[in-house]
Structure formats: structure tokens, C-alpha cells
Structure 1
């Protein structure tokens, strides 16, 4: 996996697993408008991530018995993206990087993917956070780089708790607010700049 350096508005972000894609106001696609995407895999063949700020009304316990008590609140499935919405991806944050349960595959530090075929009792006590996503976002070779270059995404560092927030609705603004320089100004932009 080779990281892809990307420039946008003078800020440099690196397209690599563990980074966030934050939708810019120019991104009007309803699948991604106002989203924050956690990148889980980036290589020459493309990229894969999950939208971390779109909870669904479906309780995890309704579709994955036993996992409802393990996931972070709110205990619902999240809409991870338009690709494969009938499948599920589990993103986990380890309590201790040296104590990974069976079925855990590291993505970036303590953050990784967890195989949902792993017995729940084997992961209890090892996770600081777990979220289950229905579907994911995927890009072919160079597609994401092109979208960043055209101004659809900001590429920014993630914090470990971003994917596991109790209130995902405020994530877009909070991520933008913590960015350096002029990028932070976007956190206070009105929904319709023409009304400003």
C-alpha cells in the first residue's frame, strides 16, 4: 500500500487507511453530502471506507444477535455507504494494541476491522469501541484522488473516537473545527452561503 499525497486549498492530506474524508460543500451527491468517511483501505487499485455519521433506525440486535450489547451507543447499524448495503463491516477500536482478539485486523494503530463470525465472548473486554456498518464506500483506481483534486473532499487526520461517537450528527463540524488554519473556518459555514 502506497499512500497518495493530495493537495486541496493549500492543505496537504494523505490518502491512507485511518484518514478521514470530509465532504466539501461542492459534493452534492446525496450518498455523500455532509458525510465523514473513515478510510479503511487505500492502494493502487482504489480505496474503501465507511460513512461514520449516518446512523440508521435499525437496531444491531435485530440483525446480528449478540452484537447489540457490544457496539457503541447508539446501538444501531450505520449506513456505511452505497456499495453492498446488504453486507456488514465491523470497525473496532482496541483498548490495548497488544491485546487484539481473534478476528481483528489492524487498519491503523488500535483501529481495525473485526470479523463478525468471531464469537462475541472472545471480544468482550478487549474493545474501546465497535460500530457496525451496512454497506461501504468504494472507489476504483485514481477515482478518489480525482474527487479530492476536483474539490469534493477534504482529507484530514482522524481521532480514535471519531467513528464511535454517541452523537454522530455533530461530527462534520467538530472535525472541521479542529483543523488548522483556514480549513477550520468551514465549520461555521451556513448551509446556504448565499444567505450569508
Structure 2
């Protein structure tokens, strides 16, 4: 995904973070294609779900493929959703989503495997310590695409964050990121996401039951995989290896 244009500062709020002053708003009337297509995705955001985006996604059709269906897991922060190959919604096709919050209000997650070409120093030019760093904005999901959410991997919990996994935190504010940039070390990492994914109460459970997603528990190494653009392919091969071996041996 390319983000090219002139930007002007706008203050945004995210459900997992604080107030951010960013340059993620474009001047003029047009937005990047992935932002403008948000309007086309409104039924998904308002809870219709992804089931209709599956090829032949009737309940009977999915039930005929027991290998891909699964029981509802314990949905907790840190769970990874891996999109099935049949999922055609362009916002979620071949995505890996980290669940960051799950409660009576619904679920919120971040797409992990869609880095953009927008340097973080360009999106957040007022942030101290970014000059010369090779960090890029990630597309976190179609909801609030101008909202900034951060993931931190660090031994000490940054201020205004919520723990997702051991040493993995979501949220934070400008000061949290500036502190990490000012005191870098080999074990601390961070990524910044524009937008997020969300589900109404019960919606994610339905999608998992119907086979829209595979689920595995995440870990920091997977979340901060050095090759995020190929993360879905890596996990797909890992998840389908037993089935492919069975098919090969039966020939």
C-alpha cells in the first residue's frame, strides 16, 4: 500500500491509546484508496460480518470441510486470527490479526502483516528521535484509519498501555514512544499502526465457528516477525502442514 500526498496535522483518539497529534490527514478532498474504500466496508464495520465474503460460505458448505472448522477458543488478548484462504474481503484477505481487547463490548485487533511505505518520521514529524530511523506505519485495519495505535515489546510496561502478552503492550502516547526512542536497547521494539479492526459482541465468535479464521495463541516473536509481509504465508504453511502431508501420503 502506498500513502503519498501532502498531510496536515490532526488530533485523533483511538480506543486503545491516548490523544495523538499526527500528520495522517490528507489535504484536499481525496483520501488514499484504502481509506476511501472504508465507506464500501461499512456493513462489515457495523456488524454484518465476513461470512458473506467467503466463497460458497453457506453454513452447509463450511460444515462439509471439518478440517478448517473449529470450536470457539478462549478469546483473550494475544490470540492471533489467521484468515482462511477463502476470505475475499480485501480488508482482511490473507491477514494475521492480533486480538488486543475482548470483553462485553466486543473485540479489537490489529492487522500485523500490512506494512506501508509511509515512513513514521513523515507521518509523525514532531516526534523526537525518529530522524534517521527506518520505521514505517502499518495498516492496522479499516476502522478509524487515521487513528494511531502502538505495540511495544519491552521489559518495563510503558505508561498508558495495556498488557497483551508477557512484555507485549498496546496503547501508549507520544511520551511513551519518545522515551523508548531516547533509550534504545536490543530487546525493546515497537510498531505503529494506523486504524484497527473491531467486532461487536458475539460477532467474532460467530466468524470463528463458521471457519472464517484459524486461531493460534500469539507470542512476541510472531507479532514482531522481521518479515511481516510474509507472515500469513508462514502461518498458513504451518497450520496446513499436517493436512498436506496426509494428502501426499494417500496418493
TM range (shorter): 0.7 to 0.9
Equivalent positions of 1:10-49 (< 5 A) are 10=70, 13-49=73-109
Equivalent positions of 1:141-180 (< 5 A) are 141-179=201-239
Q: CA–CA distance in 2 between the matches of 1:153 and 1:172?
A: 12
Equivalent positions of 1:85-96 (< 5 A) are 85-94=145-154, 96=155
Q: CA–CA distance in 1 between the matches of 2:199 and 2:209?
A: 14
- 2:83 maps to 1:83: no
Equivalent positions of 1:115-194 (< 5 A) are 115-118=172-175, 120-123=177-180, 124-125=183-184, 128-179=188-239, 183-185=240-242
Q: TM-score, normalised by structure 2?
A: 0.61
Larger Rg: 2
Is the strand fraction higher in 1 or 2?
A: 1
Question: Larger deviation: 145-154 or 105-114?
Answer: 105-114
**Cα displacement (A) at 1:163:** 2.4
Mapped contact 2:83–2:92 kept (Cα < 8 A): yes
Q: CA RMSD in A?
A: 2.7
- Paired position in structure 1 for 2:51: none
Give unpaired runs (5+ residues) of structure 1. Answer: 1-6, 189-196
- State which of 103, 106, 109 in structure 1 corresponds to 2:166: 109
Mapped contact 1:50–1:136 kept (Cα < 8 A): yes
- Paired position in structure 2 for 1:3: none
User: Compared with structure 1, are the counterparts of its residues 121 and 30 closer, same or farther at alpha carbon in structure 2 (3 Å cutoff)?
Assistant: closer
Q: CA–CA distance in 2 between the matches of 1:36 and 1:70?
A: 29
- Paired position in structure 1 for 2:128: 66
Is the helix fraction higher in 1 or 2?
A: 2
Q: CA–CA distance in 2 between the matches of 1:173 and 1:187?
A: 15
Mapped contact 2:96–2:111 kept (Cα < 8 A): yes
Q: TM-score, normalised by structure 1?
A: 0.77
What SS does structure 2 have at the residue aligned with 1:20? strand
